[in-house]
Structure 1
Amino acid sequence: MELTNAEEELMQIIWKKEKAFINDLVDAYSEPKPAITTIATLLKRMQDKNFVGYVQMGRSREYFAKVTKKSYFSKHMNGLIKSFFNNSTSQFASFFTQETNMSEAELKELRNLIDEKIKEK
């Protein structure tokens, strides 16, 4: 299950904060800040999707991520590779290196990462 853009923006805040009350989440947005009711609606939808949980503390709820950023991003990237690159990571890598205007230093760093992965296998 995927997050909408608004949910993903809120999820980024939750990942960064790790635990937060609704007022903390609203405060983390830049101006104009969304209404508390908007954030509450997003949180409810994200709970229904099992991305967010909470601990009841008196009359307040402290929210936390139930899915790691790495796990979400990994599934998201695998979906993109499957949908747009015929499930070919090499087609994705070719596109990524050609279309992102990587510097020579960044390309060398990427090559080193790939070389390390090859050694591990």
Structure 2
Amino acid sequence: MKEIRELTKAEEQLMKVVWQLQKATIKEITDGMPEPKPAYNTVATVLKVLKGKNFVALEANGNVFSYYPLVAEKDYRHFAFDKVFDNYFSGSYHSLVSFLVEEKNLDEVTHERLKQLADKLKDL
């Protein structure tokens, strides 16, 4: 897997649209953005940066240019999680699970699912 670099919030938001559409023009990407929609030129600028970071590539079909992802959403999700896991939980699963259980108001269904997962860990 190639080196993945951290994205800014704006880059990440735009990549979510690219991942969803898989291949799209600047206008299609702009239309897929949440309100308030960024300007066309802003989307074009962010795509240029993402191309430089090797997150997207450009495909020309006549005079229509489409962007498509080079980094899979799953791969970036793993990268982002690992960064949070290492930086905020010091790589400790115990710290992560403790945070989820003690600091978050979990509904009963989520709490039960975590208990089931913990039981599975005991069986390993």
TM-score normalised per structure 2: 0.85
AA aligned to 2:116 is N
Number of the residue aligned with 1:63: 67
Q: After TM superposition, where is structure 1 displaced by more than 4 Å over at least 4 residues in a row?
A: 114-119
Distance, in Å, in 1 between the alignment partners of 2:48 and 2:122 is: 43
Instruction: Give the 5 Å matches for 1:1-121.
Output: 1-116=5-120
SS of the aligned residue for 1:94 comes to helix
Percent sequence identity over aligned pairs: 35
In the superposition, relative to structure 1, how do residues 27 and 115 fare at CA in structure 2: closer, same or farther (>3 Å)? same
Distance, in Å, in 1 between the alignment partners of 2:119 and 2:10 is: 37
How many residue pairs get aligned? The number is: 120
Structure 1 stretches lacking a partner, 5+ long: none
Give 1:115 shift.
Answer: 4.4
Structure 2 stretches lacking a partner, 5+ long: none
Deviations 1:93-116 (A, max 9, x none): 211222221112112123334545
Deviations 1:5-41 (A, max 9, x none): 1001101111111111111011112343211111111
Distance, in Å, in 2 between the alignment partners of 1:87 and 1:114 is: 18
TM-score normalised per structure 1: 0.87
AA aligned to 1:9 is Q
AA aligned to 2:77 is F
